[in-house]
Chain A
């Protein structure tokens, strides 16, 4: 009995630890300026404070927020919506490219005898060892000369190449788990290797691809530094925008919280959509070992 109580207590603590910041952001996004800056924090909507949609309407529709301390300037109309769309486009395409290319490369590494395979795999991984900030200036100059600043393509290239190593390593592990006999069976049954991969291996690898895609998408979605530096005027993404709300002088916590909530929703939705595949996890197949 005591063990059960301790177990649930521990569980509650852990959940509180991880979920409370989210809760805090969500309730803050519904607070007025007065409530959000109150010295004793208001915890419960309807009880402690009167919730308002003003922050959301300001971000999404560009309305002004009025309060006792004056009028807060509205966010420029539609900027958030535009940036959200950019984020979706850039993360979406770069994730699809990274998972697509990385999966094919991983398949090759898993199935074929490649000279210097170990070295190549290490080389691919080593591109992740350098923090992006270190190469910020070269990339800036490079992209300026190539005309890749303020473009979708530039960030898509950067995020794709940042995620490909991760995908290759993840997917190679998964492919190694898929027995070779599947493709061999399909090839004996009259299919080419490409058909065998498409009809048998890829359907088997979908849970792994989904899991890998979630992680890749999160990386691209949250990336701040490169986006802030390269895409200031066009094809800008959301993370630098959140920073811009912090603004000068008074921090607009309510609007920041609302933008943050809107920013995490797509990634949560995406994770939920693929959650069945994530849970199906790595238990492959009817082939017994």
Chain B
């Protein structure tokens, strides 16, 4: 077991059309035994970051530590890690048993020990019945298990997984999420897991590191990331449906006020702005579940007209036109029924709003004030 640390890690690829900065000054510590997910859209540098830990890419600058060892100059095989690839990379000419035993054979371990460990892993992953088969004929769920087995069998310091569930169908993916989380908990091995799927990230990880364009945006527990996004990117990337985002102007009376189209909202006194400058153009965000829809005759922050109603069973999502640049998405309980075209009132929980500097995308609200 070991922790993984990144110190100012930079990766630059040189291509014919010039240099591409894939990973920009990443500083990150993954605790021993932690399940950390690197989350971001494709091309954000998350896989490159993972591959640098494995030694499949070399960092342009900066240091990577596994435990107390600086691993930048070690060959992949010397880093005591296991890597699960998106496409599994099971060796087609070897049986499942030999695939799993393959990493052990590199270590000159006795035949009995190899057999025993392969057997243990197979038992744990419930793949004993396919040990003699070739991997390419197996269904993808079983291929996935074989790939996991090959990673587990050498009892590495760190698991590195690159979108391992992408190729499974939806129901199997949900099962494997639970199983992987359980497995990691049982083994207690440090896990670095790359995905673009926020459900995977939210449901499995201890902490999430969100990346965009090679830059680490925010690191935190799933709920921290969800409730207190520190950048505009994180706010928009996490959550389904995506956060409502509009431009607003801030004005100061007795309390700070945000003006968004027809909506004038007095900010809660607990909100303190990070920046002293009063910006005219600020991104105002609120999640659909923090906007409440009600009939037009009740006191509301803003009036609007229902455009679309999407009943999802456990909840209903309304698109409400409030005369602003875009319609607001509102999550409501299924028993609250409003028809398209109907005038409705909306109230917004002022504790739950988000303000971002339009130019930098950074949160304007002090993190300390919003803890919890």
Contact = CB atoms under 8 A, between A and B. Distances in A.
Given A189-B103, A189-B154, A288-B140, A184 B92 contact: no
Contacts of B77: 187-192
A285 B103 contact: no
Contacts of A195: 106
Interface string A191-223: 110010000100110000000000000000000
Interface string B103-130: 1001100000000000000000000000
B136 interface: yes
B178 interface: no
B364 interface: no
B140 A203 contact: no
A187 to B, nearest CB: 5
A272 interface: no
Contact of A179 (B83, B89, B107, B135): B89
Contacts of A284: 92
B136 to A, nearest CB: 4
B85 A185 contact: yes
A228 to B, nearest CB: 43
B106 A286 contact: no
B88 interface: yes
Contacts of B93: 203-204
Contacts of A48: none
Contact of A184 (B85, B88, B135): B85
A186 interface: yes
A287 B88 contact: yes
Interface in B132-153: 134-136, 138, 140, 143, 150
Nearest to B140: A288
A254 to B, nearest CB: 48
B87 A185 contact: no
Interface centre among A182, A184, A188, A287 (most CB of B within 10 A): A188
Given A185-B150, A187-B55, 15 more contacts: A179-B89, A184-B56, A185-B89, A186-B91, A186-B102, A189-B77, A190-B103, A190-B107, A191-B106, A286-B91, A286-B134, A286-B136, A286-B138, A287-B88, A288-B167
28 contacts: A179-B89, A181-B87, A182-B91, A184-B83, A185-B83, A185-B150, A186-B91, A187-B77, A188-B54, A188-B79, A189-B77, A189-B150, A190-B78, A190-B106, A191-B77, A192-B75, A192-B77, A195-B106, A203-B91, A204-B91, A204-B93, A284-B92, A285-B92, A286-B138, A287-B88, A287-B89, A287-B90, A288-B140
Closest 5 pairs between A and B when the two form their complex, measured CB to CB: A190-B106, A286-B136, A181-B89, A189-B103, A190-B77
